[in-house]
Structure 1
Amino acid sequence: MTDGETMSQTGQSPTESVIWRIDTNSFALSDHIEWSAHSHEDRHELLWGARGGLTAETDDGYFAVPGSLGLWIPAGVTHRVVAAAGTAFRCTFIAADIPPIATRTTAVAMPEVVRAVLDRLEAPPYLSAAPRIHAEELALSLLEPVEVSTIDIPLPRDTRTRLVAEALLSDPSDDRSLEDWGRHVGASARNLSRLFVAETGMSFSTWRTRARMRRAIEWLAADHTVAYVSRRSGYATPSAFVQAFRRELGRTPGEFASIRGDAAKKSA
């Protein structure tokens, strides 16, 4: 997308006075769309209400946005957002002079009352001034970060290793060897191996496992079955997936789903 088509645009003309401090925009996408790396110095960003595949990449890591939670991106943090075809979500901007609920990119609880209030804070505003001020204050008072299971998965910078990494995040079931990937991107397996370690701090094999777990968390958060997630993540059997998941996250997929469900109930 061009700079004029970034999510920072809310429909007002450049000379129009912005009189609200929080505004929500809705997106329903028929095609795959990527917003290139950008930042908003004048506003925090909250991605929420996702249906489909919505991911964000910041210096804090790679994040999938599940429908049950939101993703808080502080003002000034560079981020790249990717939405798969058929994805719908909401993007709420909050004035940067409002104290952030977190200084890093983080998950945010989204109880029904917050969703309802943020939905009313659309741009351009249709609430009159006094009700809008009260609605904004209520939404801000209820927003809070939550601890969720996540996977730190730094992305490599070299063009060749980046192509491999992005392909695996798109399809973690791809089991091509490093030699196969080398032929695909025009590099030797030895060079790719060295680059993965130098740029991510982990071997190719470890990075691929992390990528599989990162996508697995996204699919589990969307209430897919363990059998479905294990297959999509590239594991031959559900039991092999469960063992790998436990090694990486210290709990089984079922325990992760239970913890996530309890957190969602507490925030409702």
Structure 2
Amino acid sequence: MMSIPRHAPIAPTALRRLASGAGIDAHRHDDHQIAYAASGVLAVTTDRGHWIAPATRAIWVPAGTVHEHRAYGPTNLHLVGLSDNPIGLDAPAVLAVGPLLRELIIAYTADPSDTSEARQRIRGVLLDQLERSPQQPIRLPVATDSRLAAVCEILSADPADGRGLAELGRAAGAAERTLSRLFRQEFAMTFPQWRTQLRLHHALIQLAEGEPVTTVAYRCGWSSPSAFIDVFRRTFGQTPGKQF
């Protein structure tokens, strides 16, 4: 369970420099917010799940959402508070961040006290780019069914655990068919899709903390570094070496 949140009506626009492992405790805003880590990796947790983003992604946090931030690796966290909702989403999401949007976010958060027309023009282009930014399927939902939660806990503790759903089901006290249905029903994902999300989540954290690509590949359950690099590239658009 998340701790009792702070309530800050206005979502700040700011640059926060966080050490690896540091975070921002549970809180909520009456405004929407974009959270972007220009360096390091950022994780946002709510009662609905976990979202994680390297420097090619940002996390959308809708108004009223109770959430926590956690940094992995030295992280420059750029926060953009928005009274309006340019992307029309009422749930957290991971958004693609291209080179232009990256520079706009960095420029807009450099000096929040700046009220110049030039900065307002930056904001206008930033909002336009956010409207065009596609969502990315990088999330780990929270299970409500105890049997599904048990399987998720087993693999979260060891993402390299290669057991199939039938064997995991025996450990969790549930049939394979039941678990397969629960993954689709609760997460809108198949078990293999969820397991890939879990492994990528762990991989991003370990890479941000300085672990070698080969070590991360095997620790997170890939059969080879090349298999890991292929999945990473297809998901994030870059190889792990270029990302970190």
Please indicate the TM-score interval, normalised by the length of the shorter structure.
Answer: 0.5 to 0.7
Q: Does 1:112 align with 2:103?
A: yes
Tell me the equivalent position of 1:13.
Answer: none
The amino acid of 1:44's aligned partner reads H
- Please list, as runs of the form range in 1=range in 2, the aligned pairs for 1:49-64 lying within 5 A after superposition: 49-57=37-45, 62-64=50-52
Matches within 5 A, 1:162-241: 162=149, 164-165=151-152, 168=155, 172-175=159-162, 178=165, 179=167, 183=171, 187-190=172-175, 192-193=179-180, 195-213=182-200, 227=214, 229-241=216-228
Aligned pair 1:23/2:13, yes or no?
yes
Which stretches in structure 2 are left out of the alignment for 5+ residues?
A: none
Task: Quote the offset at 1:234 in angstroms.
Answer: 0.8
Q: In structure 1, what residue type is equivalent to 2:110?
A: D
Task: Classify 1:84/1:103 alpha carbon distance in 2 versus 1 (closer, same or farther; 3 Å).
Answer: same
Per mean C-alpha deviation after superposition, the further-off stretch among 50-59 and 134-143 is 50-59
CA drift at 1:45: 0.9
TM-score (norm 2): 0.64
Question: Paired residue for 1:88?
Answer: 75
User: Which residue of structure 2 aligns with residue 67 of structure 1?
Assistant: 55
Q: 1:62 to 1:107 in 2, by over 3 A?
A: farther
In structure 2, what residue type is equivalent to 1:132?
Answer: T
- State whether residues 40 and 73 of structure 2, in contact with CA within 8 Å, keep that contact through their aligned partners in structure 1: yes
Amino acid paired to 2:58:
G
Summarize the Cα distance change of 1:138–1:233 in structure 2 as closer, same or farther, 3 Å threshold. Answer: farther
Asked whether 1:137 is paired with 2:139, we answer no
Residue 88 of structure 1 and its aligned partner are, at CA, apart by: 2.9
**Cα distance in 1 for residues equivalent to 2:146 and 2:24:** 18
Q: Is the CA contact (8 Å cut-off) linking 1:117 and 1:139 kept in structure 2?
A: yes
Task: Describe the superposition over 1:62-82 as per-residue Cα deviations: whole angstroms up to 9, x where unpaired.
Answer: 532212443333334x35335
Do the aligned partners of residues 234 and 203 (structure 1) sit closer, same or farther apart at CA in structure 2, a change above 3 Å counting?
A: same
Kept in 1: contact 2:108–2:123 (CA 8 A): no
Greater strand percent: which structure? 2
Using the size of structure 1 for normalisation, the TM-score is: 0.59
Aligned to 2:5: 3
Shift, 1:188, TM fit:
0.4
Q: Any stretches of 5+ residues in structure 1 without a counterpart? A: 10-17, 122-126
Deviations, residues 124-151 of structure 1 (Å, cap 9, x unaligned): xxx4xxx425365134123123347544
Deviation at 1:118, TM superposition (A): 0.7
Return closer, same or farther for 1:27/1:180 CA change in 2, 3 Å cut-off.
same
User: Alignment partner of 2:160: what SS?
Assistant: coil
